[in-house]
Amino acid sequence: MDRSAFQEPYDVQWDEESPADAPGFVQIRLPAVHATPRPDNLDATELSTGCASSPWRRGGSFPQHVPDWSNQKVLHRNTLPPRASFHVYNSVDDALARNVSKSKTVSLNGTWKFKLAKSPFDTFGDLLDREFESQKWGNIKVPGMWQLQGYGKGPQYTNVNFPFPVDPPNIPFDDNETGCYLRTFELPRSFRNHQIRLRFEGVDSSFHVFINDNEVGYSQGSRNPSEFDITEFVEEQRKNTLFVRVYQRCDGTYLEDQDQWWLSGIFRDVNLLAFPKIRIEDLQIQTHLDQAYTDATLSVRVTLNTPSDIGLSLYDAGGVPIIESRVVASPTNAISIFVQNPQKWTADTPYLYQLVLTAPGCVVEQRVGFRTVQVKRGVFCVNGKPVKIRGVNRHEHHPDSGRAVPYDFLRQDLLTMKRHNINAIRTSHYINDPRLYDLADEFGLWILDECDLECHGFGEIDCNILQKGSSNHAKGIEIKGNPARWVSDNPEWTEAYIDRARQAVVRDKNHPSIILWSLGNESFYGRNHQAMYDFIHAYDPTRPIHYEGDYWAQTADIYSRMYTSAEEIIRFVEESQGDTSKPLVMCEYVHAMGTGPGAVKEYVDAFYKYPRLMGGFVWEWANHGLRTKTARGEEYYGYGGDFGDDPNDGHFVLDGLCNSDHTPTSGLTEYKKTIEPVQIISGNSKKVKIINRYDHADLDHLKCTWTLVGDGFRKYGGLVEIPTGIQRNHTAELEIEGLTLPELPGCEIYLEVSFTLRHSTNWAPAGHEVAFGQIRLTPVGKRPLISLEQLTLKSPTALQLQQISPQHLRIGATPGNNWIFNIVHGTLTSWTSNGKELLHTPPELTFYRAVTDNDRPTRFGQSWIGSRLHQTKNHVRSVTYSMNGEGVTVKVEARIAPPVLQWSIETEIIYTFNDAGVTIKVRGKPRGQCLPNTFARLGLEMGLKDIESASWFGRGPGEAYRDMKLSQKYGNYTLPISKLFTNPEYPQDNGNRTDVRHVTFNVKNDKKASLKASFGTLEEASFSAMNYTTKDIDESQHPYELYKKKKDYTVVKLDWVHMGIGTGSCGPATLDEYVLKCEDFEYEILLS
């Protein structure tokens, strides 16, 4: 829209027509918006590019006019005013059915003709010559991104940087890919005598529209809708030609620097809409609850194109009308209706009514959820009750089609969220496909709806200026390093900012799921954010407004933080920092990149403890990998740099709780556990104390069962009665009936309590588990301890000790176990069991793991590499051996050290062999200068032959580490070796299982030859087993590279202790309580 139309400030007034009992409605009176006049005699090419087409001139300039796509004063031309998202129907029944195919809507999705140019100025002939040239054009799918359909330079990923020369608001003329889209359509007969509209739900980044050789208009704002009145351009009973020229970049691109792939095209739905002569142009719905949060006022503002009678009906969820009314409406009319004690909408109880408005020939339906959002004394509340956000940030992503996300894929995303106890979405960092909000209304998800705004790249510019100490003395400019000066605090950009707020709020205002508006992301803070806030608050005062860049909430209604530690946010509330009337939300936290995240529980515990803490949104929902292939046809998920894109930010785009195909990772499983709506506080064999963590629901919809779990058994117990009506944050004691502990001396026994859905819902079937807990019934202090000495059996057959060479000892008996020990290297080099060789490589003491994304940038990962922990080797100093009544003992004293540096770990390892197996006791003392600050792990690493699976008792069945293990239950598990490897899309350490008491590695086709490792009573022992070495993983950057290094043996790690994961890829590193300090140690293990 022409900026000149907004030289006067908008006028905010209370609507005098609104009744006194319709609180919250204001009227925003904006000056009429008109497109900049243009001469009638310019051809279509000149209109869209700003260049005259006549070749015969004595002089001139290029371009003759500033192109719309590089003109800061042009946001839209000839677009209709923003409106709520709705369809027009012919009948009430069709409207109630919400079947779009029965509405006055025709989809233009499908296959279009397409041609790509390097620059808009290379498309001069495409419009005029299309009748002759279109047969030479290619095909493209709409919705879709052209880079993912074989056109253009390909995808490009940057987190922060602009991938083009920065010169706001200018866009390079010679490097701006331009996609020309072409298709024909015919109007249905039912569209006669209607206003015909053309609506684009999303086009990246800007576009001109032509119909039948006539320019219709222009629009920008990639993730915002654009709607045009094309009535005068279309013809009935003939094919109409639609031509769309889409520009990869425009001046608005400076406001769309979100952390995602740079992709272009018509990526959301395109529809033809028919609006009757008397039509509903827009409607705004608000619900207001009384002070008791019981009765409600339904306020409806209806905008018509002309005065008319309108009917209003409200239907309950069963389709029964509960309110019917008819009024004579002016073009803008406010209607207030009292509703006695309606069902309330919350994320826990998403009850929806249907509102139907009728005018002659026009029926519109909108769903209504009765709820009120408030901040009360520093606590965020819905319907008067505090709400805790257990959310995720969600970008629009599909591994094959990028931001063009199919509906079924979108729906599955939200189903997966609900099934993992997630209750909120932040639409990072733009308004989403409108269908997402419909699904959120249905399933029950809180939405923080974010405007399409991020200009993070300007921070890099100012950062570089400051680092280099630059200044521009010639122009008298003092560089102060304030990135907001470029756009956010620049009055030339004010209308562009307000436009993005307007587009978001006007489109999405009627969704009950939306409880917060957000002014955007990582755009610093300036006057234009204040202008956005003022507009939104005036238009919709019923929802608080969020913006993290407003760090001290000068404007925003709540405080917001990114990646702050749990300790810091606790300090924020304990010290009453800031305005205590405002709560705090973590808009991004526990960065879910690679293996992890760890230490989520610490945040969640803080959220529940402190009322001012609203909760948070994990960054982020899913990896953004794009499915592609190598030249050899090897399929993988590509990240920054894999498509020849430069600059790029590598695999920082792989940072989600789901894989790139949106299947859950172990991180999502852990998050589900930490935010479960029923928590077990304590318990014993008779009673279990629980607390209800739902915000608006009791536990009556759940069923509880108990099971007894121990090493070697799992016995179902029965149902547990849940007291009725347990309110939020209230505790209750559950009686466990019929439990008798088996007499199994020394056996760990757990009471497992599971909470499942009693009935099917629209997001999960009956029996779906929402929460569980396990209580150790064997008291820790009184539990019989199983020492390794107790596990070590006396040899039924006398062992033989023989030195078979200057380097090798043979130990063993026939039949049974036989070993060969290398006394020069201090290693066990062979182990045969019943004639079957088990070892491929000897067990060695190691301290390093393949670096994870959460290790790499932290002081821990940097220390491991800097101290060359990954390069340590074992150097023997002495070996002694002897035979006694217990068997054969071999004692190895060694120095484990890296090259270059002086530090070392002085070790003593004692091997005790008997016919049952070998006990290995280790002692170690770190010594010297430049020691690593921590160990990554501490254990044995070896290669085993012909292993097909592992069986263990401990936590499982999934991946777990010290600080991300709560989701894994104690029990007995068996998995193939291939299933133990979680295969991250960027190779790194994975597949660890923790709190393991013993693990058996099963040899293919030979049960007698298996190898068992027992850790005794050690609490945090771990193991992993895979077909790759640590070095293989460290040196690979894609799974297909790693696959080529696959070993024909199994690499087994048996760890007495393994360091936690943390969220150091972007946030706190591993917490102190989960680190593995570099200090003296002593451990033992039995291999049998």
Active-site residues, by number, are 522, 588
> Closest Cα to residue 444, out of 667, 263, 701, 742?
701
> Closest Cα to residue 696, out of 294, 440, 286, 388?
388
- Tokens describing residue 825: 């290297």
> Closest Cα to residue 247, out of 192, 210, 205, 283?
205
Angle between helices 527-539 and 494-508 (to 10 degrees): 30
Q: Which residue type is seen at 232? A: E
The two beta strands, 379-382 and 373-376, are antiparallel
DSSP type of residue 782: T
- Only one residue has tokens 């806030």, namely 533
Query: DSSP E strands: which ranges in 823-936?
Result: 827-833, 836-837, 839-846, 873-884, 887-897, 904-914, 917-927
d(CA 300, CA 284): 6
d(CA 491, CA 496): 10
- Only one residue has tokens 């965020």, namely 380
Coil/strand/helix, residue 1071: coil
d(CA 831, CA 817): 7
d(CA 931, CA 904): 8
Handedness of CA 407, 411, 412, 417 (dihedral sign): positive
CB-CB neighbours of 191 under 10 Å: 19
Residues 839/942, Cβ–Cβ less than 8 Å? yes
d(CA 233, CA 239): 12
Q: Which residue type is seen at 1049? A: Y
Handedness of CA 477, 478, 484, 490 (dihedral sign): negative
Q: Which residue type is seen at 470? A: S
Tally helices (H) and strands (E) across the chain: 17, 64
> Closest Cα to residue 399, out of 201, 167, 148, 194?
148
Q: Which residue type is seen at 417? A: M
CA–CA–CA angle 465, 467, 473 (5° rounding): 45
CA–CA–CA angle 449, 452, 456 (5° rounding): 115
Coil/strand/helix, residue 916: coil
CA–CA–CA angle 57, 59, 63 (5° rounding): 95
d(CA 914, CA 811): 9
Most distant CA atoms of the chain, gap in Å: 111
